[in-house]
Every structure is written in C-alpha cells, then in structure tokens.
Amino acid sequence: MGNRDHDDLLTSRQVAELTGWSITSINRWALSGELPADRKLPGRTGSYLFRRSVVLDNLRQRDEANALRSSAA
C-alpha cells in the first residue's frame, strides 16, 4: 500500500478544525465539487471524507486567491 500518512482521510469536522472553515461551508463545497470529497459515509447525515492533501491544496489556493484580491484592492 505504501506510506500514506500524509494523505489520511478527514471528516468534515476535522477539516473545520484544521482550516477554520465552517462545517456548513465544507459540506456545501463538497456537494458542489468545489472541495472534492473522497467519499461520503452512509446515511442521510453521513459525513464526507476528504484527503488531507486535497484539503491542504484547497486551503493554499484560497489563501493565494485572497492575497491577490487584497493586493488588488
């Protein structure tokens, strides 16, 4: 399988704790594909699961976009 410690799966709640984003936003982004989820746990209220690397890449992209917007203002 290889070493995938850097790419473990995170729940919506764990993503919220890591990034400071709201769980509502995370779930909305998962539904829209803006934050790609690896899978969704079963059931109507099952949490989305995200790869840590995808979350960190998305966070980096959002930070860069915010920095560009701030410098343009």
Name the residue among 53, 61, 39, 55 with its Cα closest to residue 6: 53
- Host domain of residue 59: 9-72
**pLDDT tens string 57-73:** 999 998 888 888 888 76
Name the residue among 6, 19, 10, 2 with its Cα closest to residue 39: 10
The pTM of the full predicted model, rounded to 2 decimals, is 0.80
**pLDDT tens string 16-61:** 999 999 999 999 999 999 999 999 999 988 999 999 999 999 999 9
Q: Could you give the number of structural domains in the chain? A: 1
- In one-letter notation, the amino acid at residue 25 is S
Q: Give the CATH number, domain containing residue 65.
A: 1.10.1660.10
